[in-house]
Structure 1
Amino acid sequence: MKLAHYILSFLLFTLVACTETKTLEVTATAYNSVESQTKKGDAETAAWGDKLRPGMKAVAVSRDLLKEEGIEHGSELRISGLPGTYRVLDKMNKRWKKKIDIYMGENVQRAKEWGRQNVEITWVLD
């Protein structure tokens, strides 16, 4: 059993060591799935058609991050100061640069309390 543990540890270490990540400082705001925050009138459907539900760890990203930084629909991001990973399920208006919008369900007060912050995001490059 110890041998299997060492082999598994070695394989995991090798996999992590071969994975290239990127870190970038961005401005982070928050948004909600409420009608007043959408222009389409469908507060649950994100830009790629994903359905947003309260409790999901999702983000919208500015389009420059998609074009220039290697972030894609479905990419997982780590956000400094927040636990876990967030999945890229939405994209922002073209006017925004180096910006993410963290999905906070229907809790508008929580989003207001978050406000605007500078954070570091980290993701794996494909």
Structure 2
Amino acid sequence: MRRKVRAAACAGLLLLISCGVANAESVEWKTLSVAASAYNSVASQTTKHDPSVAAWGDVLKPGMHAIAVSRDLIKKGLTHGTKVKIQGLPGIYVVRDKMAARWTNKIDIYMGHDVAKARDWGIQHDIRILYVENDNS
């Protein structure tokens, strides 16, 4: 019975927060407006050696809700493992990768091997994201 109650409570809170966060009152969602592009785990867009391994060592798999962030956003609290909501997209994404130093104020949304889907997304400006800073202590 407790499992059912806990599962129902967790499902209800999913619209506000992920189940890994203690409660809605203690969560402070921060908001940013960023440019958002999309990328794939293919050698021409990442590394030729192993295109599914991200900068922090995570192995990306199609279907994952993962993003890469520009390095200036890391300084703003979007560090490895940060949960992110993206305007116009369902679900919660997780920071799993970082972008080349030349990019600023930008996220890259992981789209598996679907290059056509990533091209259709293109680059969108002024996309609002919400995120919860990690407690890395």
Q: CA deviation at 1:80?
A: 0.3
User: Cα deviations across residues 6-44 of structure 1 (Å, max 9, x unaligned)?
Assistant: xx8xxx8x9312211100000000000111112453111
Q: TM-score, normalised by structure 2?
A: 0.78
Amino acid at match of 1:51: V
Q: Find the structure with the greater CA-based Rg.
A: 1
After TM superposition, which residue ranges in structure 1, 4 or more long, deviate above 3 angstroms? none
**Percent of pairs with identical residues:** 56
Structure 1 position 19 matched with structure 2 position 49: no
Structure 1 position 31 matched with structure 2 position 39: yes
- Distance (whole Å) between structure 2 residues aligned to residue 124 and residue 33 of structure 1: 26
Q: CA RMSD in A?
A: 1.8
Number of positions where the alignment pairs a residue of Structure 1 with one of Structure 2? 115
Of the two structures, which has the highest relative contact order with CA contacts closer than 8 Å and spacing of 6 or more? 1
- Distance (whole Å) between structure 2 residues aligned to residue 93 and residue 40 of structure 1: 16
Q: Which moved more, 1:72-81 or 1:116-125?
A: 116-125
Which of the two has greater helix per residue?
A: 1
Unpaired stretches in structure 2, ≥5 consecutive residues:
14-21
